[in-house]
Amino acid sequence: MTLGLELRGLDKSFEPENPVLRGIDLSIRRGEFVSLVGSSGCGKSTLLRIIAGLEQADGGRVAIDGREVTYLEPKARRIAMVFQSYALYPHMTVAANIATPLIMSRLHFLARLPLLGALAPGRRQVRSTIDRAVEEVADQLEIRPLLGRKPAQLSGGQRQRVALARAMVRQPSLFLMDEPLSNLDAKLRVHMRGELTDLHRRVGATFVYVTHDQVEAMTMSDRIALMERGAILQFGTPSELYSAPANLRVAQFIGTPSINCFPAEIDSAGTVSCLGRPVSGMVTSETRQRASLAVRPESIRLSARSEDVVFGATLRRIEHHGSEYILFAEPQGRDQLVRIRVSGAALEGQPLAEGQALTIAFSAADAHLFGSDDRRMDVSLFDAPVRLQSA
């Protein structure tokens, strides 16, 4: 099976001492919806521009649908891109904006000239097929009534649809989108998320979608590539990234509220201890280093079972989120707030007040262990009821 998009060892730096992309490898299947997420400035847009051919990489290869395109011009790559600012041509009508990619690819340079072009043979015929294609796409995105307007006369959401229409009209095999929803208000953003997912199902093309909103990435993608400082930390399905993060920074990036981290040590026997006490039943083959133990807020419980890691803590703050609560608790002797997610049902008949003492616990099976280089460490777990007393 050929890949929809294949990147091999892409490097890019604008200033020699400050690389923006460092050896990016990515294999995206045909028809897959892949999100590139990462914090601001990590190189997402640069990577997208290199895929589009708008920027030349310093090294590495790009292949689209099994065709090497590293040195091809943007227009020869058969891709479409939706920009963050939508980048509509301001002086053209919506219809002309959508028609432009087709006019450019189907009419010869001379036939596009302002006056001379009208004389070109066959131009009328080509124009009428283009007009039909434009109307078809406009109907799909429900922007038919807007065709006669200029971009300045449209709302943000309408501009976004026009930009999508302009991308769709040429039926590319690869869609690149650079934060297309970031200029919309929260409600419209959620709505467009659904529409984009539908669109992806309908056209069946490969999508590469840049966002720094992890919720967008988690809800829309088949797979997510999480970038940091020009490198890909992990590439996997949303559930892989959530339940088996390959890197501490992936664990911290994905999930709201974010994951809880506790300092841990590993002794020469490979026994893991957290906050100075051994964690029951957790052993690793890599020994003798500082490490971090990370636990999702929903994996922390307010009642301890025998094999759990247990802390005494003080409840500092309660946030109501409708059906659930986020509790912020300070473990005794530590300057850190632990985030705990509990459902409303679990708290029924157990009223909580800020400042009260809590027992918080998690089981070793729910904890992720990361080494001093932030990489995920393999652990073996066995059931051994050891109780970690609160200090």
Partner 1 sequence: MRKFPSPLAGLTPLLSHLVLLIGAAFILLPFFWMVLTSIRSPSEIFSVSFWPIPREFYGWENYGEAFGMVPLLRFMLNGVIVCLGILVVQLLVAVPAAYALAKLPFAGRRLLFALVVGALCVPMQVLALPLFMGLAEFNLLNTYFAMMLPFFLSVFAIFLFRQTFKSYPDEIIQAARLDGFTELEICWRLVAPSALPAISAFAVFSLVAHWNDLYWPMIVVSDTKLAPPPLGMLFFTNAEAGSNYGALMAGATVLTAPLVVAFLFARRQFIQGITMTGVK
Ligand X SMILES: Nc1ncnc2c1ncn2[C@@H]1O[C@H](COP(=O)(O)OP(=O)(O)OP(=O)(O)O)[C@@H](O)[C@H]1O
- Asked whether the beta carbons of 335 and 314 are under 8 A apart, the reply is no
User: Is position 325 an interface residue for partner 1 (rule: CB under 8 A)?
Assistant: no
Exactly one of 35, 45, 158, 173 binds ligand X (CB under 6 A); that residue is 45
Give the residue with the Cβ less far from ligand X, 134 or 184: 184
User: Is position 79 an interface residue for partner 1 (rule: CB under 8 A)?
Assistant: yes
Q: In this structure, which amino acid lies at residue 119?
A: L
List, as one string, the DSSP characters of 8-30. Answer: EEEEEEEETTEEEEEEEEEEEET
Exactly one of 166, 189, 200, 212 binds ligand X (CB under 6 A); that residue is 212
Residue 38 CB, nearest approach to ligand X (Å):
6
User: Is position 35 an interface residue for Mg ion (rule: CB under 5 A)?
Assistant: no
The pattern of x and - marking residues 103 through 142 that bind partner 1 according to CB under 8 A reads -xx---x--x------------------------------
Give the residue with the Cβ less far from ligand X, 4 or 43: 43
Q: What would the two tokens of residue 81 be?
A: 């891109």
Closest-by-Cβ residue to Mg ion is 45
Sign, CA dihedral 156-157-158-161, equals: positive
Residue 5 CB, nearest approach to ligand X (Å):
17
User: Is position 45 an interface residue for Mg ion (rule: CB under 5 A)?
Assistant: yes
- Asked whether the beta carbons of 345 and 316 are under 8 A apart, the reply is no
Exactly one of 4, 10, 44, 275 binds ligand X (CB under 6 A); that residue is 44
Instruction: Give CA–CA dist 357/340, Å, rounded.
Output: 14
Task: Select from ligand X, partner 1, Mg ion, none the partner in contact with residue 88, using the beta carbon and a kind-dependent cut-off of 5 to 8 Å.
Answer: partner 1
- Asked whether the beta carbons of 230 and 265 are under 8 A apart, the reply is no
Q: What share of the chain is helix, strand, coil (3-state, %, to 5)?
A: 30, 35, 35
Residue 179 CB, nearest approach to ligand X (Å):
7
Give the three-state DSSP class for 40. coil
Instruction: Give CA–CA dist 43/49, Å, rounded.
Output: 10
Place of tokens 């302002």: 114
Give the three-state DSSP class for 200. helix
* Total of chain residues touching Mg ion, rule CB under 5 A: 1
Task: Select from Mg ion, partner 1, ligand X, none the partner in contact with residue 317, using the beta carbon and a kind-dependent cut-off of 5 to 8 Å.
Answer: none
Binding residues for partner 1, rule: CB under 8 A, are: 49, 52, 54, 73-75, 79-81, 83-85, 87-91, 100-101, 104-105, 109, 112
